[in-house]
Each structure stands twice: as C-alpha cells, then as structure tokens.
Amino acid sequence: MKVGIVGAGMVGSAAGFAIVMRGVASEVVFVDRNAALAQAQREDIHHAVPFAQSCKLGAGGYESLQGAGVVILAAGVAQKPGESRLSLLSRNAEVFSEVISQVRTYAPDAILIVASNPVDIMTEVAQRASGLPPERVIGTGTLLDSARFRALLAGHLGIAAHSVHGFVLGEHGDSEVLAWSSARVGAEPLDRIAAQLGVDITESVRAKIDEGVRRAAYRIIEGKGATWYGIGAGLARLVLAIRDDQRAVLTLSVRTPHVAGVDDVAVSLPRVVGAAGVVSTLIPSLDPPEWEALHRSTALLKESAKGLW
C-alpha cells in the first residue's frame, strides 16, 4: 500500500521511518511546505531500506499523493514547552483547511489519519473539511496514551506489555481517563492477577502510573522539545491494521454521535480498525467515577471546539 505523509517534521518522519522499518508500506511519500525538508527525510529514510523491507520513497507536491491508500496528516506548528494542546488549536486549524482540499484533490480514496495536535479537534476539523464519512478520518487520539499505560503497568507487574490490556479514553491530553476498572492481565482482571503475583496496586501506585501517562508528553517536551518515536510507532501500527484489514482494537479519536452524555464529538474510545477505517466502536465497561471523568473530558473537548463551526 502507498502511504502519503503530509508534514515531514519530527512526527511525520518518525512515522515514515517506523513504516519502513516494519515493512508496512510498498511506497512512502512525503509532502511538506518545506520541500527541502521533505526531500531530506526521503533521502535519509531511503538509506534505511537495505536494513529493512523494500519500499519506494518519494517526496514532492500534493500531486505525489496520487494512489495513496492512507494519508497521514502530521503538518502543523509544534507544541511549545508548557503550551497546552488546546492552545495550538487556532494555528493548526488554519494549516489544515489548506492541506485537506489538496489531499482530497489528489488522493480522493485515501483514509485520512490525523496526528497533528490538538488531535481530537483536528480530527473533527479534518472530517468536516474533507466531507468524508467519520470512519475514514481517524485521529491518533489516545493510541499512544494507551500504549504508555500498558507499558508502565507491565513494568510494575513484571509482565510483557503485550499481555497487559488497558485503555486510555477521552481527550488526548490533560483530561484523559485511564480506565483502571477494565484493565486486564492476560484475560484476568488486574487486581486478581496483582494479588496472585504479590504486587501492590495501591492508590499511590495508581497515582504514579497515572502521572507517568498523563504527563509523559510534557516531560519529553521539556527534555527534547517534542515527542516523535512513540507516536511514529503508533502510526505504523495503525496503518498496518488498515492495510491488512486486521480488525485490531485501538483507542482512536473519531467523530462520534454520542459519547458519555455528549453529542457529536471526536474523542477516543476503543475502535475496531480494518481496511474500511473504523468498522465499529466498542463501549468500554467503566465504573461510575470513570464514566463521570469521560463525560468531563468529552464535554471539555466539545466546549473547546465551540465557535469553530
């Protein structure tokens, strides 16, 4: 499958690199308003191909997106240290309106994946601007946050992250909700397995993991200015699910009619992903405080988008 990447900055190039290293695409094309940057990323990643799977690399204008099955939207202005994702909104919304019409002209059949922040609102901006059905405009949402949750919980338990299941739902940002009540190890509830292993899941352990997930982006931005490897790997995982019609369950942001008492909002829930995009949404089992937190997070997003359309 051919994958287009608009925005060849840190996130776009990390996605391209991860896609090449995992052998997810037959062709990757970079588009950026900084044409020299797009070319440089193409050339650098091209040199990784002999160490990975075969893949054609390209860079150019929007016309080079022709034939893409998926286009990743990673264009935008980077989050500054200490800046909230929501404050990025107006700057990035402007960039998007320009980008979407070009993408639709040259890759009308592509599924759009939105990675630019604030990702939930940018997903709705992209869906509205593109006129595509919501299931074909997928925001990365809490894809990475759920991976962080699983990685931290797995480390605490001494179990492989692949065998630890837990969702982060709601906004990709400060108000996101770690769904502790539905976390599983293998197929068993977390508390039961932790007790068997003799590992504490006390309030302070939960608080530490919660902080580790929720504040991860801020910490990484403080140390290196932006985050890119985690989301790049997540994007490659998502493209693979689409390419192979995997029906994988991933937490992703998609414009949804009703979520936790809020109507018509793009927010992350567990979604089943295949070749057609999001093929269904799973309703998680949450305890009442988690539902309340999901409601607050979703309502906050709805409020932040007010006035945009």
Judged by beta carbon, residue 10 or residue 144, the one nearer ligand ADP is 10
Task: Say if CB 172 and CB 161 are below 8 A apart.
Answer: no
Is 213 annotated as a binding-site member? Answer: no
Would you say 10 or 241 has its CB closer to ligand ADP? Answer: 10
| Contact mark string toward ligand ADP, 10..29, x via CB under 6 A | xxx-----------------
What string of DSSP letters covers 102-142?
HHHHH-TTPEEEE-SSSHHHHHHHHHHHH---GGGEEE-TT
Interface residue with ligand ADP among 199, 226, 248, 249 (CB under 6 A) is 226
Q: Within positions 28 to 67, which residues make up the interface with ligand ADP, using CB under 6 A?
A: 32-34, 37
Site mask, ligand ADP, residues 183-222, x = CB under 6 A?
----------------------------------------
CA distances from 286 to 181, 199, 297, 305 (A): 6, 23, 14, 26
Q: Name the pairing type of β-strands 111-114 and 27-31.
A: unpaired
Query: Residue 34 is which amino acid?
Result: N
State the nearest-atom distance from the C-beta of 57 to ligand ADP, in Å.
Answer: 17
CB 168 within 8 A of CB 179: yes
Determine whether the annotation assigns residue 53 to a binding site. no
String of contacts with ligand ADP for each residue 85-124, x by CB under 6 A: ----------x--xx-------------------------
Task: Name the nearest CA neighbour of 186 among 153, 212, 208, 210.
Answer: 153
Annotated binding-site residue? 32:
yes
- Residue among 143, 164, 146 at smallest CA distance from 241: 143
In whole angstroms, give the CA distance from residue 166 to residue 183. 4
Comparing C-alpha atoms, which of 309, 258, 246 is closest to residue 24? 246
Candidate ranges 73-81, 154-162, 166-174, 176-184; the one touching ligand ADP (CB under 6 A)? 73-81
- Quote the Cα angle for 148-154-157, to 5°: 145
- Closest contact distance (angstroms) between CB of 31 and ligand ADP is 6
Q: Which is nearer to ligand ADP, 164 or 238 (CB)?
A: 238
The answer on whether 304 is annotated among ligand-binding residues is no
* Among the residue ranges 75-83, 209-217, 268-276, 297-305, the one whose residues contact ligand ADP (CB under 6 A): 75-83
Please pick, from the candidates 3, 15, 75, 286, the single residue that binds ligand ADP as defined by CB under 6 A. 75
Q: Which residues of 8-38 are buried (b: 16+ CB within 10 A; e: fewer)?
A: bbbbbbbbbbbbbbeebbebbbbbbeeeebb
Q: Taken in order 210, 214, 216, 218, is the CA torsion positive or negative?
A: negative
Q: Is 85 annotated as a binding residue?
A: yes
**Catalytic pick from 46, 162, 172, 295?**
172
| Closer to ligand ADP by Cβ: residue 13 or 298 | 13
172 counts as catalytic: yes
The residue written with tokens 């997540």 in the block is 234
Q: Determine whether 210 is exposed, middle or buried from the number of CB atoms within 10 Å of its CB (0-12, 13-18, 19+).
A: middle
Residue 79 is assigned to a ligand binding site:
yes
232 binds ligand ADP per the rule CB under 6 A: no
Q: Could you list the residues that contact ligand ADP (CB under 6 A)?
A: 6-12, 32-34, 37, 74-76, 78, 95, 98-99, 226, 228
Q: List the binding residues for substrate.
A: 79, 85, 117-120, 145-148, 227
Q: List the binding residues for beta-D-fructose 1,6-bisphosphate.
A: 150, 165
Catalytic annotation, residues: 172
